[in-house]
Structure formats: structure tokens, C-alpha cells
Amino acid sequence: MANEQNAPLPEGFEAGGYRIVRKIASGGFSMVYLAQDSHGQPVAIKEYLPSSLVRRAPGQLVPEVVGGNLPTYRNGLKCFFEEGRALSRVIHPNVVRVVNFFRANETVYMVMAYESGRSLQELVIHNRNRPGKRVLPERHIRKIFAQVMNGLREVHANRLLHLDLKPANIYLKKGGMPMLLDFGAARQTLTQDAPKLFPMYTPGFAAPELYKKNQQLGPWTDIYGLGASMYACMVGAPPQAADQRIKQDKVDTVLAGLTDIYTQQLLDLVHWCMKLNPLERPQSVFALQRALREPFMREGVETRSFLPLRWLEDMISPLRRRRDGRHTEPKRHHAPAHVPAHARVQAPALAQGEGNGVASQPDATLLAERKGD
């Protein structure tokens, strides 16, 4: 059994042309360091170090693969490397910038641009203890997630899925601009190869299709995580885990209790994103962006009610009028959302008794339910 607390690389150690300054985060899947490049510029380096497969004692550099885990470790190594290469092609202000990736110490390192700021999770935790009912104002939620959706849409256009969307993985740079971090695609692939590993999702933020094998994943899976993250920004806590919602859903009751704080349109939008049936959710970020731009309550001005069925009717009505020969407006062209079929990967199995686990990711304090809380 691997030691869950692996030793970090020593401060001052050089690898791939970068000098390690200090460890800044760690998790069951990787370790993250603040480092400097050859010009003295700060970067963040993520090291592939799955704690369930390897151990590394203080003073060691090369992790030791334990038991019969070598094939699984090598497969995860390859997936981590490929994820870094794919992310390096995504250039968007709302997505973490991968500037380099390299092999050393018989593992792989992903080099990312370093930004000062804090996670959305930290902001939520700080604000939920303040007096008053609101955790984050609606205007703030809309502003943050409008930009998050811009980044996620670019990710999907590059045939990638995030698969671990939650406030801990939305980083707010100085000035408030959000940036997506810590993609979970490589971890999902890793669990396909080795179902014995701990689940690689965060209960509360993970869509129900992530709990089972051989489920089709797509943009709708990330959209569930978006809705759950907006929920957390309103409530100050993660939503009920999807497997528990299937038994007795409490999310609707919680949202209904927020009608005096947030507009019905925003609450309906979150409810739509968090539908348990993937086919009932928005199927693309493009559709969700259009819905978020709908008018909402401002200083006593009545909001337009938003419901998924009304949205569907708005899309279908012009087609009906055109078919019947009564449509006289010029055609409007919208860029279709990219939903690549081969971007859908298999999900890990939910190990019995692990429904309250947390995702393995480099964040010390997760905004997620834990056993014993």
C-alpha cells in the first residue's frame, strides 16, 4: 500500500530547467510547486504522483511504484503527459496556460503560468461566515460564470472535457478574472485501467454519470459541475451528492428557499444544469451562455421567467414558422457548439462506502462533504 503522504521535491532542486521554490499544494494524484524558470519568472509545476500507486520518502527523487501497479502507473503517466500536450493548445484567458511539460525522475511534470489570486472556494468559504443571507451577490455569480463558460467552451472546442468542475478548480486572478484549473480527464482514464483506485470525482459537484462505468460523458457532464458550482456560491456548501439525490432529492427544496435572495431565472438555470438525466441538461455551453444572458431582476424590474421548456420552445418556434411559410425575418446564424463524440470517456466505478469521498486534486481544503463532518 502506497504512503498517502509522499515527500515533495526539495527546495532548490532543479528539474527541466526550473528551480523548485516550495510546495504549494498536494493531493492524491499530484503535487504542485512554485518554481522559477531560467529568467527568474515564477511558474507553477504539477508533478504526476498518484499516492495510491507510488511512495517517495524524504531525500528520494524517483518515486517507487509499489505492488503490481507498474502498468497502471505507466498508463496514467502517458495520460497525464497527453493531457498536458492537449492543454498547451488551449490559449484562452479563462483557462490555465500550460507553457511546458517534461519528463524527469521517472515521472512527468506540467509547467503552468503562475498567477496571484485565490480560488473561488476560498472566496465562498470566507463570505459564508459573514452576516446576511447572501454568500455571493447574483451580479458577482453571473460575472464569474459568464467568463468561466467562455473558457469551458474553448476547452470543449479543443475536444477536451474538464470532468472536475468545482469552486476549488476555479481560480480568481487579481482583478477577479476566473481561470479554470486542474482538469480531471487524465484521472478518469487512469481509473478505467485500475478500478481499484479511489474515485476521482468530488461528490456534490460530480454528475451522476461519473459514478458508473461505461456512461457517455460530454459537455453536459461539465455543465452539471457548473450548475453545482453556482449552487455552492449561493448556499455556501456543496449540493447533495448525485447518488444520494437519486434516492431522495433535496436540491429543489434548497433552491426554493432562495427565491427571496436570487432571481427565479438564475435558480431555474442552476436547476436545469443539475438535472439528473443528462439529456435534460443543456447539451452545450453555447446554449447555457445564451440562457445566462437572459434579462434578470434589476432594482425592481420584473425578471423574465426562464425554464428549459420555454427555452426549447424559443428555439423551435422560428423553425415552425419557417416551415409554415410565415417566417419573414432574416436568418440568424449561430456558431454550433462543438460536442465531439470521441471526447466522451468512460467513468470510474463508485467503490462501495466511498460516496462521501473527495476528489484527488491539489487543494488542501475542499469545499466538499467529508466523512465525519
Q: What's this model's pTM, rounded to 2 decimal places?
A: 0.76
Quickly list DSSP for 116-147: -EEEHHHHHHHHHTSSSS-SS-HHHHHHHHHH
CB 37 within 8 A of CB 368: no
pLDDT value, residue 200: 65
Average pLDDT of the segment spanning 95-102: 93
Average pLDDT of the segment spanning 354-364: 33
3-state helix, strand, coil in the chain (%, to 5): 35, 15, 50
Q: Is the pLDDT of residue 262 over 80?
A: yes
Domains annotated for the chain, with CATH where assigned, are 14-113 (3.30.200.20), 117-318 (1.10.510.10)
Q: Cα separations (Å) of 3 from 53, 55, 319?
A: 9, 5, 60
Top mean pLDDT of 174-178, 223-227, 306-310 is at: 223-227
Residue 67's pLDDT band, with cuts at 50, 70 and 90, is confident
- Give tens-digit pLDDT for 179-210: 998 886 545 544 454 444 444 678 999 999 99
- Give tens-digit pLDDT for 3-48: 458 999 999 999 999 999 999 988 778 899 999 999 999 999 999 9
Return the SS3 of 105: coil
Q: Please enumerate in sequence order all residues whose Cβ is within 8 A of that of 325, keeping only pairs 6 or more positions apart, or say none.
A: none
Residue, of 76 and 209, whose pLDDT is higher: 209
Edge to edge, the sheet with strand 18-26 lists 14-15, 18-26, 30-36, 42-48, 107-113, 98-104
Beta strands, E only, the chain: 14-15, 18-26, 30-36, 42-48, 54-55, 64-65, 98-104, 107-113, 117-119, 170-173, 178-180
- Give tens-digit pLDDT for 311-345: 444 544 554 455 555 444 444 443 333 333 333 33
